[in-house]
Structure formats: structure tokens, C-alpha cells
Amino acid sequence: MNARDRILARVRAAVEGAPEAPPVVRDYLVSHTPDDPAAVLDLLHENLVDYRARVHRTDEAGIGALVAGLLAARGAGSVLVPRGLPPEWLAEAACAHVEDGAESTAADLDAVTSVVTGCALAIAETGTLVLDGGPAQGRRRITLVPDHHICVVRVPGQIVASVPQAMARLDPGRPLTWISGPSATSDIELDRVEGVHGPRTLDVVLLSP
């Protein structure tokens, strides 16, 4: 018998005659937040800040200048541009634009200062951005290797209140990255310190129409 058959046989023998387990009751809340888009937006803002993301609000008319300002303040020599990024987001950015391509290596990405992406959605109750590799997001590695990530969230369309609401909208077939603040560790005396391997600076732009 191979390992697969042995394990399956052992599993079956182990639970044979065990009583049926009670059904799962999903009586937990779908959301902990009142259904008010302005309140949900404020909560997202507050929770992002609480985990040390820097949050900015703007509209379509102001995004070019805002992103250019963030890149300049960082002293960014170059910015990674995923496919499908709306051109107006980087229209005023003076630094070199680097298109991400399959041929660029991890070391190439390490030489780039910043990256600008969109997202799939943002979760207000936890201050979380979810990326799914869709348009304006690119491969997972481009939001990981550069030390500075600017992530644009469309208000209100891309904001949900809660984790259950997010799960219902996400496609498990896509590679998903949930980001809640810049990288951090609690490994030294169980105290949170921001900034380890992922981007140490996370700018979130809440973009209204």
C-alpha cells in the first residue's frame, strides 16, 4: 500500500463509529460596521493609520500631483509601473518609469525605489488592502521587493467593511496578497516593530471620483 492509501485508511479507521459532528452555524456578523459609506471610509482611514500606513485622500483631478509629490518626497529615482495602471496616476511623476516584465529579475526589482499599484479591494474593519494581480497591480513580487509602495484604492467602489464581505468578492483562483500596514515583526519581546522585508513605507491613496 502506498502512503496515500495508508493515510486515507488510517483516517477512515480513526473516525469509524464516531458520532456525526454538529453542522456549522454561521450566526456571526457579516459586518461590525453600520452600512454608511462615509463611516466605512473613515474607519478604513483610521485603521490604516493605526498600523502605520500613511493615508492620503484625493480625487481624479489631484491624483497626478499627489503621487508625484509622494515619489519626490521619497527621493525616488525610479518607479515600477504595472500593466494597466491608469496613465494619469503617474502623469506628473518626474522619476524614471520602469515597466514590469517577465524578464525582470528579483535583483532588477531591488534596484527600483518605489512601486505604484491599484488593488482589488480594501477592508475597513481591519485596515487591509487585498491585491489579486488584476489590472494596475502586476505580479506579487513588484509590491514586495521595492521599499516603498503607493497603493491606490478607489472610493467607494473598492471598499468593503468586513472580512466576510471581502471573501465573497475575491476570486480564489487568483494569487492573493492581503496587506495590513508596512511589514512588521513582533519577534523581539513580542513588541511590534515596523519594517522588515517587505516595503517599509506604505502610502495609501483613497481616490474619490
Q: How far apart are CA 97 and CA 81, in angstroms?
A: 6
38 binds other proteins (CB under 8 A): no
Largest interatomic CA distance in the chain: 70
SS3 category, 138: coil
10 binds other proteins (CB under 8 A): yes
55 binds other proteins (CB under 8 A): no
Residues 6+ apart with CB under 8 A from 167: none
Alpha helices in 51-162 (DSSP H): 63-74, 106-110
Question: What would the x/- binding string for other proteins be over residues 148 to 167, using CB under 8 A?
Answer: ---------------xx--x
Residue range at the interface with other proteins (CB under 8 A); choices 54-62, 70-78, 152-160, 183-191: 183-191
4 binds other proteins (CB under 8 A): yes
Binding to other proteins, residues 85-144 (CB under 8 A): 102, 106-107, 110, 123, 125-128, 133, 139-141, 144
Question: Which set of grid coordinates corresponds to residue 166?
Answer: 471581502
39 binds other proteins (CB under 8 A): no
Binding to other proteins, residues 18-37 (CB under 8 A): 18, 20-29, 32
206 sits in which H/E element: strand 201-208
175 binds other proteins (CB under 8 A): yes
Nearest of 101, 63, 68, 55 to residue 82 by alpha carbon: 101
Residue of 65, 75, 135, 192 interacting with other proteins (CB under 8 A): 192
2 binds other proteins (CB under 8 A): yes
SS3 category, 82: coil
Say if CB 203 and CB 70 are below 8 A apart.
yes
95 sits in which H/E element: none
172 binds other proteins (CB under 8 A): yes
Q: Smaller CB distance to other proteins: residue 61 or 102?
A: 102
197 binds other proteins (CB under 8 A): yes
Residue range at the interface with other proteins (CB under 8 A); choices 66-74, 84-92, 114-122, 189-197: 189-197
